[in-house]
Structure formats: C-alpha cells, structure tokens
Amino acid sequence: MTRDSNTAGAAQQGVDGAGRGRRVPDRRLMLVGGILVQVALGGVYAWSTFAAAFKSDESTLHLSALQASLPFQIAIGMIFVGTFIGGRIQDARGPRVVALAGVVIYALGIILSSFAREPGQLWLLLVGYGVLSGFGLGLAYIVPIALLQKWFPDKPALITGLAIGGFGLGAVITSPMAQVLIGNNPQTPAAAFLPLGLAYLVVGVLGAAAFKNPPSGYSVAAAHDASEPSAEAGQASSRRDFTQAEALATPQWYLLTAILTLSVMTGISLVSAAAGSAAAIAGFTAAGAATLVGVLGLFNGAGRILWAWISDRIGKMPAFVGILTIQGLCLIAIPHASAGWLFVLLAAIIYTCYGGAFGAMPSTAGAFFGVANAGSIYGLMLIAWSLGGVAGPLLSTWLIGADANYTLAFTTVGIIGVAAAILPLITKPPKRPADA
C-alpha cells in the first residue's frame, strides 16, 4: 500500500496524536448517535399538540390557557440548568455518561407526565414534563454539539448542524404520533406520554451509547509520523483553547450570547403564536393552522443544517447578520401577508432563520474559544435559549393583546431583530491565550 493511500485512509478515519496509526472509532457513528439523541429530545417542541388537547372540554384535566403553557415554559427554563451542568461534567468526565443520564432523566420525566389524568394533577406535568424533562434535555442536548466538533474539526458547522437538525425533526415526527395517540383516548391526553417516553428512552440510549471522545491529538487532515510534527501541532504548542473562566472574561462571549438571545427572541415570537397568527392574518382554519405548524417544523430543522453550512462558506459573523436581518424583515412583513401562500413563505423563512441560529452558533463558539472546553463554554451560552425563549413570547403576547394586534407585536420585535444585526458586525474573534 502506498503512502498516499495510507494518508487518505487516515484522513477518513483519523489518527491519534502520537502518529502510531492506532485505529479509532468511525466518527460517522458519533454523527448517527448525535442525530438519534437530538431526535428523541426534539419531541419537546410538540408540546402545542398536547396543550390543545389539555384545554379541550373532553380532557379530564381541562386546563386553562395559562396552565397549559406552564409545563413547556418550565422545560425551556430548565434547559439552561441542564446544559450548564452537563457541559461542565462532559468536559471533565466524558460524553457518554452525561448523554445517557440526560436521555434517561428526560424520558422518565415524560413517562411521569403520563400519569396526569385526573383533576388537580397538573403538578405531575410541571414536575415531569417541566422540571425533569427540561433538565434532562439540557444535559443531553449539549453533548453531541461539543463532541462532534472534536470528531469533525474539518467541518464542524455542517456536522453539528446535521445533528441539531435532528432536534427539529423530532417535533415533526412526534406531533402526528401524539395526535393519533391522543385521538385514541381524548379524555386523558397525558396517557400518550407513556409510549412516547419509552420510545425516547430507547432511541436516546442507543444514540448516547455510541459517544466517545477522540484520542488526544486526533487529526483528520493527514497522517503524521511521530518524528514529523504537523503545523497544527506547532501552533497548539504556543496557543491553546480557552477555559470557561477565560472565555467569560472576554467581551466576545457576551456578544455571542446576546446575538443568540436576540435571534431566539425574534424567531420564537412567531413560533409561539404560529397557529393563531395564521388564522388571524391569512384566514387559515384551525385544522389548517395546526397542519401548517407541523410543516414549519421541517424548516426549523432544515435551517439548522442550511445556516451551519452557509456560516462555513461566508463566515460566522456575516451569517448571523443574514439570520438576524432576514428574520426581522420577514417578521415585519408577515402581518400584511393576507394571502395564504405569502404567509407560508414568510413563516418558512423565519423558521429557517430561527433554527439556523442554533445550527451556526456551536461552531462559532468553537472557532472563537476552541473545542477543548466547548461543553462548558457553549453550555453556559445557552442561557440565551431560556432568555430569548421566555422574553419573545411574553413581549409579543403582551403587544398582541386582546385586540389581536399582530402588526404592532411583530413589527416591534422585527425591528429589534434587524437592529440586532449590528452586533455581529462589531464582534471579532478573541486572541487565543498563550501556553503558560
């Protein structure tokens, strides 16, 4: 076998840092595992299907609109707690144990929610779906994001985008399944959580079981002899990745967090009111609006892949200028989209940009701060998900008000999104710290 063929094989599979050619696991297994975990976790975005069922007169719980929103809001808030803790443990103990713990806690929370079948048992949804599932989701969510950047240093944005795209796909798969299960027993919609929780457990554990960090010094660029250190190795000896404390001491960490917060806030203002706005603005029927919400979930997932790829092509900050500007302008325009096709087009673009921020930001943080401590650094950055995920719906709901003033609400939030596009223009990568 020639040296060229040896090099090609090493580029595909990777070699260890000592140049011994020791075989390492096929990195494609990590990608498949990451997608499986994200598909299981993405079921959380199908909550609107359950909320509608819990509010119906047929349901024994018969929740109010506020009560039906609480489990999901608590889950979104708990995600940050999970990502913060999970990221730190992952960097110290490895990815598999954190991911397994996360998917088990997440699935157990869903299963616990299945017992909320009698009046007065809302607390089971708050504890199960809200606290436990939200926390478990955060624990597991951060793992493939940090792990895949280490296994795919040659294309971190595209690969993490593919994995996170599975999160959007999870809601698309779960929503119709949940609708069928609820239809079988509309009096106790929570019963549908039992088979779903078991399915999440199986799929999530299968995916997490594949996780493993690459060996020290892992490279996919080429095979290097031990006596011939690579250029990257020479650079690594003088410059190293940021620790979490060092990243938090830079203004760039706060700028990236603000960019993600404002992007989430802009997009989720429509996501949280998609069905109602489709009916009020474009005249969709209730059934048509519900179908549209499910279809738009595909664009949420696709956007995570698309914008991750775009950020590799045009640069990280130009990509976020595009995400914020396009999303904001479409949000300003959508209250005037009385034609159904135009509403769908604008909504699809907004969903694509909303998902795109989650797809592009992990590799952006990796490019800024390195991947050695990506779990803890990006895990803490996901406070943006909780901040934007709560602030956006609160602000838009308040502005929409009893008069259904979608023009005021979406125009205001859209202007905020467009104005936020200035942040990527002033955000430059920090200088890497030198080795002691």
Render pLDDT for 177-212 as a digit per residue (tens, 0 to 9). 888 898 888 899 999 999 999 999 999 999 999 999
For 106-126, how does the pLDDT look when each residue is reduced to its tens digit (9 = 90+)? 999 999 999 998 888 899 999
As a 3-state breakdown, the chain gives helix, strand, coil percent values, each rounded to 5, of 75, 0, 20
What average pLDDT does range 381-395 have in this prediction? 87
- As a whole number of angstroms, the distance between CA 15 and CA 21 comes to 5
Mean pLDDT for the chain?
84
At residue 372, the pLDDT reads 81
- Stretch 171-182: mean pLDDT, rounded? 84
Burial (0-12, 13-18, 19+ Cβ within 10 Å), 65: exposed
Local structure of residue 217 (DSSP, 8 states)? T
pLDDT-derived band of residue 49, with 50, 70 and 90 as boundaries?
Answer: confident
pLDDT at 10: 41
Say whether 51 sits in a helix, a strand or coil.
Answer: helix
- pLDDT surpasses 50 at 154: yes
- pLDDT in the model for residue 344: 95
Quickly state the pLDDT bin for 435 (edges 50, 70, 90): low
* Residue-level pLDDT at 294: 76
Task: Using pLDDT thresholds of 50, 70 and 90, give the confidence band for residue 150.
Answer: confident
pLDDT of res. 129 = 94
Give the integer Cα–Cα distance in Å for 339 and 283. Answer: 8
Q: Is the dihedral of CA 299, 300, 306, 310 positive or negative?
A: positive
For the chain, the first-to-last Cα distance in angstroms comes to 42
Would you state the pLDDT for residue 325? 97
Residue 386 confidence (pLDDT) above 60: yes
Nearest Cα residue to 234 out of 254, 252, 219, 215 = 219
Task: Supply the pLDDT for residue 3.
Answer: 41
- State the SS3 of 37-100: HHHHHHHHHHHHHHHHHHHCCCCCCCCCHHHHHHHHHHHHHHHHHHHHHHHHHHHHHCHHHHHH
Q: How many CB atoms lie within 10 A of CB 131?
A: 19
- Residue 24: the pLDDT is 66
Percentage of the chain beyond pLDDT 70 is: 89
pLDDT score recorded for residue 23: 64
More confident residue, 277 or 291: 277
Least confident of 11-15, 35-39, 314-318: 11-15
Does the pLDDT of residue 237 top 80, yes or no?
no
pLDDT score at 221: 55
Who wins on pLDDT, 163 or 349?
349
pLDDT classification of 8: cutoffs 50, 70, 90: very low
What confidence score (pLDDT) does residue 239 get? 64
What pLDDT shows up at residue 234?
38
**pLDDT at res. 384:** 92
pLDDT at 7 > cutoff 60: no
* pLDDT surpasses 70 at 37: yes
